[in-house]
A and B are shown apart, each in its own frame.
Chain A
Amino acid sequence: MERPEGDVPEDSRLDALMDGTPASQVEPALLPLKRLLEAAAAPGSPAEQQDGLVAALRAHGQASSPTVAARVTKQRTRKRWTIGAASAAVLLLGTATSAYAGVLPAPLQNFAHATIGAPSAAEAAADDSRDQRNPNGPAPATDSTIAPTPGGVTPPGAPDGTSWPATTPTPGANGNGNGNGNGVGVAKPKPTPSPSPKGNANGVNKPKPTPTPKGNANGVGKPKPTPTPKGNANGVGNTNGNGSRP
């Protein structure tokens, strides 16, 4: 059964009920509710007050005793030491990894070199510079001692007659290229020149299965990304096809 609209208690009167307005100031319609709330909030009976008190006092005594407090302090100290040791281990491991990667500042890198055999700062710097020259791959095995020889060939398309790198061809040198057109690919040196007509002389050609007949004047070719199966002028083509890719 719905109450008439006028009988619905206003919020302010309900707030007053909850805030402990005396029953004498409560309107008659709300008196039953007021009595109900008073009964619910009545002072605790002795049974309620004693319920669980013994166990709570025991827990309170244990928590307050010096031995328990000392044990808690000891546990906290042990926990702090454990966390500190774990943090130190992580830090050391990270530093060692950085040292072997060669990314530490020079003094630290040298210290790591002396203590744990990591690369020295100079070695790390050399590696860095090599990597910067050839960002596309591992450092190539350059050999700048290869001398130019007549008949060095250049793949077609070298526009200015120069090429990079300025390695000089050697007849029979087993040239290979990096094949990506950035000109960093270098010759795979052969210690003994071979009279074999295979292989171009500039050492920087892109590996091709067929010789390229066109060549430029200086005998050093500029690598070209698009292979053209044309032989070079002197008939010394790169036929070994053992180019290395970075």
Chain B
Amino acid sequence: MIGRDFDGVLARAAAGSSDDFARLYRDVHPALIRYLNVMAYEQADDVAAEAWLAAVTSLSAFSGTETSFRSWLFTIARNKLIDAQRKASRRPTTPLTEAHDRTGRDAADAADQVVEAFSTERALALIAELPKDQAEAVMLRVVVGLDVADAAEVMDRSPGAVRVLAHRGLKRLAQRLADEENHEV
């Protein structure tokens, strides 16, 4: 998060400062690409590019806090993702591999070393195993850093529903980790 400087960075980026825009990008893009990787790995890069393209064209029209900027950007990305998935459903393709997760590693492998330090990739792979709406709620709350209200706005759901989804996702993750731990023992 940029913090107190955010307003100035945003204003200068909207006025055309490439340095400030790059700062915004570097701050938000990792979370954006992780979120999109969890939601739709094959389309993540394209959707992220489209989302940024849409964001820069209307950056001067945006005003708000850093959290609302993230909420706004992720709403754009989510809409672009829905559009991309709709297009993809009209042109179905056969996936090359189905048993592998987004990191190219078997999902079972991802939980092998959970007690030890997690790598970001493995953590995201475990989250990606959750049902889609639970994974999205966890990603928006934990990785993107939105509160329940903002996450609900992005997901177009009620705050209560998002809270329940996130809880279910975390409980499922905890269950999975405990199972792996017991299995090893």
Contact = CB atoms under 8 A, between A and B. Distances in A.
A43 B173 CA distance: 21
Contact of A38 (B52, B118, B122): B118
A133 to B, nearest CB: 62
B125 to A, nearest CB: 10
Given A32-B114, A40-B142, A64 B15 contact: yes
A121 interface: no
A17 B166 CA distance: 11
A17 B170 contact: yes
A14 B29 CA distance: 26
Interface stretch (B3-11, B78-86, B177-185): B177-185
B111 to A, nearest CB: 10
A36 interface: yes
B29 A53 contact: yes
A48 B124 contact: no
Contacts of B30: 43-45, 48-49
Contacts, number: 132
Among B122, B142, B178, max chain A CB count under 10 A is at B142
A5 interface: no
B122 A39 contact: yes
B94 interface: no
A83 B26 CA distance: 41
Nearest to A45: B30
A32 B181 contact: yes
Interface in B38-86: 45, 48-49, 52-53, 56-57, 59
Interface string A46-81: 001111110111011101110000000000000000
Among A35, A50, A56, max chain B CB count under 10 A is at A56
A66 B74 CA distance: 28
Nearest to A33: B174
Contacts of B89: none
A169 B139 CA distance: 96
Among B29, B33, B117, max chain A CB count under 10 A is at B29
Interface string A1-29: 10100011101001101100000000001
B93 to A, nearest CB: 23
A41 interface: yes
Contacts of B145: 41
A44 B144 CA distance: 11
B52 A39 contact: no
A45 B141 CA distance: 20
Contacts of B33: 48, 51-52
B97 interface: no
A37 B123 contact: yes
Contacts of B56: 56, 59-60, 63-64
B22 interface: yes
B22 A57 contact: yes
B127 A51 contact: no
A56 B52 contact: yes
A3 B123 contact: no
Contacts of A50: 26
A56 B26 contact: no
Among B30, B115, B126, max chain A CB count under 10 A is at B30
The 9 closest A-B pairs by CB, nearest first: A44-B30, A39-B118, A64-B16, A39-B123, A48-B30, A40-B123, A49-B26, A32-B177, A60-B56
